[in-house]
Amino acid sequence: MQTYSYYPGCALERNAAVYHDSLMAVAESLDLTFTEVADWNCCGATEYITIDLIPAYALVGRNLALAAEQNCNGRSLVAPCSACFLNLKKADHYLAQSPELNRKVNQALAAGGLHYEPGSVHVKHLLEIITEDVGFEKVARAVKRPLFGLKIAPYYGCLIVRPVFDGTFDDAEQPTSMDTLMRTIGAEVVDFPAKAQCCGGHMTQISEAVALHLIHQLLKNAVDHGADVIAAICPMCQLNLDAYQDAVNKHYGTNFHIPILYFTQLLGLAFGFGEATMGIGQELVDARPALANIQVKPLKPVKRKRPSKTELPMPPKLQEVRSCLKNE
Amino acid sequence: MNNEQFEPVIIGFTCNWCSYRAADLAGTARVKYPPNVRLIRLMCSGRIDPTFVLQAFAGGADGVLITGCHPGECHYLEQNLKALRRTMLLQRTVAQFGIEPERVRLVWASAAEGVYLANAITEMVEEIRALGPLNWPQVAALNGKSHVLTPAIASVVVSEELVEAAI
Amino acid sequence: MPQERIGVYVCHCGSNIAGTVDVEELTAWAGEALRHRGVVVARDYKFMCSSLGQDLIAKDIKEDALTRVVVAACSPHLHEATFRKACADAGMNPYLCELVSIREQVSWVHTDKAAATAKAKAVISGGVERVIHHAPLEPMSVPINPATLVVGGGIAGIQAAMEIADSGFHVYLVEREPSIGGHMAQFDKTFPTLDCAACILTPKMVSIGSHPHITLLTYSEVEQVDGYVGNFNVTVRKKASYVNSDLCTGCSVCEEKCPKSVIDPVFEAGLGYRKAIYRSFPQAVPKFPVIDADNCIYFDTGKCKACEIHCEAGAIDFEQEDQILELNVGNIILATGYDLFDARRETQYGYGRLANVFTSLEFERLTNAAGPTNGNIVLRDGETTPKSVGIIHCVGSRDRKFNNYCSVICCMQSLKFAHLVKERTGAEVFNFYIDMRTAYKEYDEFYQRVLSEGVHFIRGRVAEVTDVSNTPEEEDKLVIQIEDTRIGRQRRIPVDMVILSAALEPRHDSDEVAHQFGISCSVNGWFIEKHPKLDPVATMTEGIYIAGCAQGPKDIPSTVTQGAAAAARVLGRIQQKEMALEPIRAEVTEALCSGCRICNNLCPYTAIVFDEAKEVSVINAALCQGCGTCVAACPSNAISGTQFSNEQVMAQLHGLLMLNIMEPVVS
Amino acid sequence: MDTSVKYVRGPTTHDRTFLEEVIAQTPVDDPRLAYCVQCGTCGGSCPSGADMDYSPRELFAMIDANMREEVLSSNTPWYCVSCYYCMVRCPQDVHITDVMYTLKRMAVREGFSHESNAKDAPDFSETFIDFVENYGRSFELGLATLYHLRHHPLNAVRMATGMGFDLFRKGRMNLLPTRIENIDQLKAILAEAKAIGGNGDANL
């Protein structure tokens, strides 16, 4: 049993409530305990920092201070929303790097009777906890109903893999941890080169044209590669791809109809929870037709066509090299 | 004494192959650092006799900087690791004399790390400045009126513990 | 101790020292405040290292009967030898001269004149105290073994070995791979003249293979290096090739018959195949193949032996074992070359994920007539000729995340690629560059030529190479996304093929190699030369020289130049027949030695042995390198280190702390 | 080990340049803006690069050229989506996203933010933080309604009838914002933070 402090973030209260419900169910199946940080506040998203610097860091600082104070020292703090995750992690990192910023932020916190020592809370994203702390083996053991035949495009977005502070847990351009996770629960993972591209963030509100362009690119890339469903790890990504799919279709004359589910919903289904429990149906693009593709038996692996005589060999993938190095 | 104006004297021991060349490089590259450090060139950090360090303190130095090649890069295979052990024990020993162990500092600097060495010197000068001047009453007591620690007295002070460190 | 007569000489070094240190005050002070310590003369001069400056010292030694000299000038690493020689010429033992640095350690690193002058006083004071304890010494002389070891059989090593062997001295050339030739043998054309690499390289390789003064040790690696300049002892492991070179005729039938084909990650840069028994390439020198035991079916299953069955000469020997060779050489040249940056690390360029992204080395093999496609420039399918090609400069170079330096050759190499693609396929070619660096003879002219051939040059660093398509034109293409910095606009350029001009990196094991040979690597991992401008092929370790890309990225002309330069330095040493070594050694005073043996195990060179009869430790002067660890460790003060004795260090410390000054100096 | 030289302002006789000001107001000691070599990796990587009036690279050159008004009236910072592609790819490790935030703050403070064609963006941020400051949590329905009523009344109608209605129907939108318990503590912290130097100058 591993225990984490839990920072849900505003979106998980309502818009992404299914993310919260499904991750809690999945956590239980994986022997994880998430204790919510009491009276947490908004992380400021990408908005507060554009108006005021010290208050923006103080806003995040209050959350870190509360997490540290509520007897969680040494425990990692898990954030399921990528924007919250980055804000918490970045504030901790920058406070540690800049004594001046740290002094000012702590002076502000002191006005509320709080103090935060940079480095005392280790911030992690939910995906990181499941793939690294729990591990694929344990996930595999929890699977009761593998998602055979379901073609998933794992969508990482930006803030979980970028920016890179003393190394992130996955590649900043072509991450693979969720790919492996989805394969672990029996699903088929489609090639999805756009997997870490931006969903447009708040641009839906500021310049819809820019946002629709980015959302279109993502939907098209997933559909081009034959995905049934896109797995998301961030409420903002889910909302943009789900709620603006209609607008994209109108704007580009396309007919996308691809559901966007949280990866925890897919994990939950594989762990044997019912569709209702996993909040299937809350998404605007209904996932049920796609989920009907789930097979009882694994699909027969597609035989890779024999390389032609003339074909030149490909370099080995970097991961393979890395694992070789580990074995040495 | 007003600490703002206190200018510490720091004796730095350098190895001929790495850190002395790093100091040369800092010069060639015109990197600036405070003039409070005075360097002594040895062939290897492994040459550092604990007595040198104690003598430096006895003679009025406020800090001693020991520098050598990075572990694994010693010109003489691994003598710098002996400097490491000696430094750690020296820090313990001086602490017993009531001297802040921060006054003995070990820095690895390769021949390419002029900037790094200069930064380390600057950092140490600031740290020693913050500590203030060295006050070592024990030596005064041992030596009577002289403020110079003779090697003979030093070796008594140094005790068996440092022999162990030297090995 | 009779009072010494000491001369102190303060150098202005033009304004280098005098600009920050009050040299007049310093000199006057040394003459006054240190008079009681024996200073009888103190002078300052514009350039002490000039012949006039040296004459000044010589004159004083003769006329004032000086017994010690302290020069306050630059680093001893620069001019210690100069001033020692000046003293020796004037009849003084050169080791009675001490050079203290008030340039690198004072004037260049400090700004406040008063503080700098005060520190310079302390530094001189330390030097004066120290020099009192100097002893007259004689340099140790060692004979120079005329044989030389060259490590690395690329063009740098080939050039160096050739120059030395042609002068009539013996060379051992050690190469890790089964053939010499190095990276140059993999290339097709060489810039800017576009002459064929094989045409100019293979004759040299053949000469190496047949040279009477060269022992060629391929498929071999240096395991251990002992000794010192003039007298190195080198242990080399010659890996088992399982082919008896006395019998093998190099007919290559074994290669044809071998049923096991594997990707060749070295010579073919992963783009082609070789057999389990192989020569790196047909013109390999030596001509004998080797069996790669890791991939050989016989070594795996105990069956096959196709090579043995078909070898008419009976040269296959599965029982062969590694051979350990002991070489005695006087000098060593390291020409170990470079590794290519692993382009998979720049994930956004898709190498390893996108089939038609190639590295520069892969492309060299692609264009090489003897390569996997017989020189046809085609896509990864081995058939399709690209209609458009993008060439990306600075991949892994000039990037703080990877290598913070310019790899020197990539711009010219990329221009060469552009020309070859254009010439052979007529494809549309785009070059993407941050800055165009074509600084060398005939290089910019080549750029002009490629410009005239209609190649597109887009200034900017490529953001990404992607297969995410937005438009029908981008379908099934590689899209190069970039800000064209000439117009400040983002562009997406669809192409069929992308070539990454990957950085040159230090060999992955350069740190271990440097350590093995007692030299150092720079922050970036290249071997450090003795002086970046004036001594680029020597190292801080006497007798060890470096050449080619092991010292830093460079093109073929510079590599050859360095190979020849290193050879010239070695030949100079050999001609001297013997050389003087610094007499920096440790000695045991037997009367003081308690026989505790603490020092015995401390010596990294096992130079200290215990004399059972006398019950004292004894130091072998020939093995001692003078690190001084034993001196510091001896609990009875029985070991003294020449030039770094306890007395000398203590005296310098005393001087540095100004404890020798009667009245405190207020600066 | 990083042995590179930190950006240290050399001896100068001139007043603080715009470049130095931007550097000083960006958190962490050295955002490395002075190291930009104009390679364009940022402009090439930017997902909204096509819609910016200047590429980030051009903006950095303009900062160095002291073109204060042009820089602060540019829409470029407001079109930054915080995807951090530029920052992980920049070969000089310039903290580009952070610099964009700094430019936004300066533009707001100096009244330039309504010059650009992204003039609504600051209002979106301000509407957002109004809720955060008063409730401690963000409030999607209120944010969207208020913001769109102010700027795009037509969108507000579309929100209410189309996608917004769908989200509401699915129970994915709150009618009322949640307020944290200790809102007074948060208010005190933010008030103090603003008093300290809400206008930036992390390094001053």
Average pLDDT, chain A: 91
Q: Which of B91-105, C112-126, C211-225, C548-562 is predicted least confidently?
A: B91-105
Average pLDDT, chain C: 94
CB–CB contact D47 A101 (8 Å): no
Nearest to C351 among A194, A221, A315 (CB): A315
pLDDT confidence band for C601 (50 / 70 / 90): confident
Question: Domain boundary at C537, C554, C579, which?
Answer: C579
Number of A–C residue contacts, CB under 8 Å = 61
Instruction: Quick: pLDDT tens for B106-129.
Output: 999 988 889 999 999 999 999 999
Domain identity same for C10 and C131: yes
Instruction: Quick: pLDDT tens for C28-82.
Output: 999 999 999 999 999 999 999 999 999 999 999 999 999 999 999 999 988 999 9
Stretch A270-295: mean pLDDT: 95
CB–CB contact C485 D42 (8 Å): no
C566, pLDDT greater than 80: yes
**Residue C372 preceded by cis peptide, ω within 30:** no
Rounded to 10 degrees, the C-alpha dihedral A73/A74/A79/A84 comes to: 60
Rounded to 10 degrees, the C-alpha dihedral C196/C197/C198/C203 comes to: 110
Interior angle at CA A314, CA A313 and CA A317, nearest 5: 145
Per CATH, the architecture of D18-109 is what?
Orthogonal Bundle (1.10)
Higher per-residue confidence, D157 vs C378: C378
**CA nearest to A192, candidates A184, A182, A202, A204:** A182
Q: DSSP string of D37-74? A: ----HHHHH-TTGGG-SS-HHHHHHHHHTT-HHHHHT-
**CA nearest to C455, candidates C393, C381, C405, C513:** C393
Q: Would you say residue C663 lies in a domain? A: no
Nearest to A312 among C345, C348, C372 (CB): C372
Stretch B149-153: mean pLDDT: 44
Q: What 3 state SS string does A97-119 have?
A: HCHHHHHHHHHHHHCCCCCCCCC
Do chain D and A touch: 3 or more Cβ pairs under 8 angstroms?
A: yes
Dihedral of alpha carbons D35, D39, D44, D50, sign: positive
Q: Which fold has domain B8-166?
A: Rossmann fold (3.40.50)
Closest residue in C to A223 (Cα) is C468
CB–CB contact C485 D40 (8 Å): yes
Residue identified by tokens 């072509």 is: A174
Domain identity same for C468 and C368: yes
pLDDT confidence band for A309 (50 / 70 / 90): confident
**CA nearest to D31, candidates D104, D100, D77, D94:** D94
Residues of chain D within CATH 1.10.1060.10 domain(s) are: 18-109
Closest residue in B to C652 (Cα) is B40
Do chain A and B touch: 3 or more Cβ pairs under 8 angstroms?
A: no
CA C48 to chain B, closest CA, distance in angstroms equals: 19
Q: Which chains touch C (3 or more CB pairs under 8 A)?
A: A, B, D
Domain identity same for C446 and C517: no
Domain identity same for C361 and C400: yes
Nearest to A210 among D28, D51, D190 (CB): D51
- Model pLDDT, residue D27: 86
- Model pLDDT, residue D141: 58
Q: Which of A255-269, B68-82, C173-187 is predicted least confidently?
A: B68-82
> Rounded to an integer, what distance in angstroms lies between the CA atom of residue A51 and that of residue A57?
12
> Rounded to an integer, what distance in angstroms lies between the CA atom of residue C170 and that of residue B143?
64
- CATH number for the domain spanning C42: value is 3.40.50
Stretch A133-145: mean pLDDT: 96
Print the domain residue range for C516.
Answer: 149-186+197-239+509-579
What stretches in chain D show pLDDT beneath 50?
1-8, 198-204
Collect all residues with Cβ–Cβ distance below 8 Å to C212 and sequence separation of at least 6.
C165
CB–CB contact A162 D27 (8 Å): no
Domain identity same for C377 and C402: yes
CB–CB contact A46 D196 (8 Å): no
Domain identity same for C517 and C497: no
Closest residue in A to D103 (Cα) is A50
Yes or no: say if C446 and C191 are a contact pair by the CB < 8 Å rule: yes
Higher per-residue confidence, A70 vs C482: C482
Nearest to B43 among C511, C514, C644 (CB): C644
- 3-class DSSP assignment, residue D34: helix
Instruction: Mark A262-281 as b/e (b = at least 16 C-beta within 10 Å).
Output: bbbbbbbbbbebeeeebbbe
Domain identity same for C285 and C372: no
Domain identity same for C255 and C372: no
CB–CB contact D5 B31 (8 Å): yes
pLDDT confidence band for B3 (50 / 70 / 90): very low
**CA nearest to C655, candidates B40, B24, B104:** B40
pLDDT confidence band for B138 (50 / 70 / 90): low
CA D127 to chain B, closest CA, distance in angstroms equals: 46
Full set of structural domains in chain A with CATH: 2-126 (1.20.1050.140), 144-291 (3.40.50.11810)
CB–CB contact B76 C604 (8 Å): yes
pLDDT confidence band for A169 (50 / 70 / 90): confident
- Model pLDDT, residue D168: 73
Q: Would you say residue C410 lies in a domain? A: yes
CB–CB contact C584 B43 (8 Å): yes
Could you give the percent of chain C with pLDDT greater than 90? 84
CB–CB contact B47 C116 (8 Å): no
Closest residue in A to D164 (Cα) is A243
Question: Domain boundary at C450, C474, C505, which?
Answer: C505
- What six digits make up the tokens of A25? 């169910």
| Mutation for A interface: D129, D184, D203, most A CBs within 10 A | D129
Domain count, chain C: 5
- Model pLDDT, residue D151: 65
Yes or no: say if C573 and C330 are a contact pair by the CB < 8 Å rule: yes
Domain identity same for C220 and C280: no
Average pLDDT, chain B: 81
- Model pLDDT, residue A199: 94
- Using N-to-C axis directions, what is the helix angle for C646-656 and C113-132, rounded to 10°? 150
Nearest to C398 among D44, D50, D91 (CB): D91
- CATH number for the domain spanning C394: value is 3.50.50.60
Q: Would you say residue C664 lies in a domain? A: no
- 3-class DSSP assignment, residue C128: helix
CB–CB contact D1 B31 (8 Å): no
- Model pLDDT, residue B148: 46
Instruction: Quick: pLDDT tens for A197-211.
Output: 999 988 888 888 899
Q: Looking at this predicted complex, what is its ipTM?
A: 0.82
CB–CB contact B115 D1 (8 Å): no
- What six digits make up the tokens of C565? 């330069």
Q: Does D178 touch chain B (CB under 8 A)?
A: no
> Rounded to an integer, what distance in angstroms lies between the CA atom of residue C268 and that of residue A322?
22
Q: Would you say residue C119 lies in a domain? A: yes
- Model pLDDT, residue A319: 61
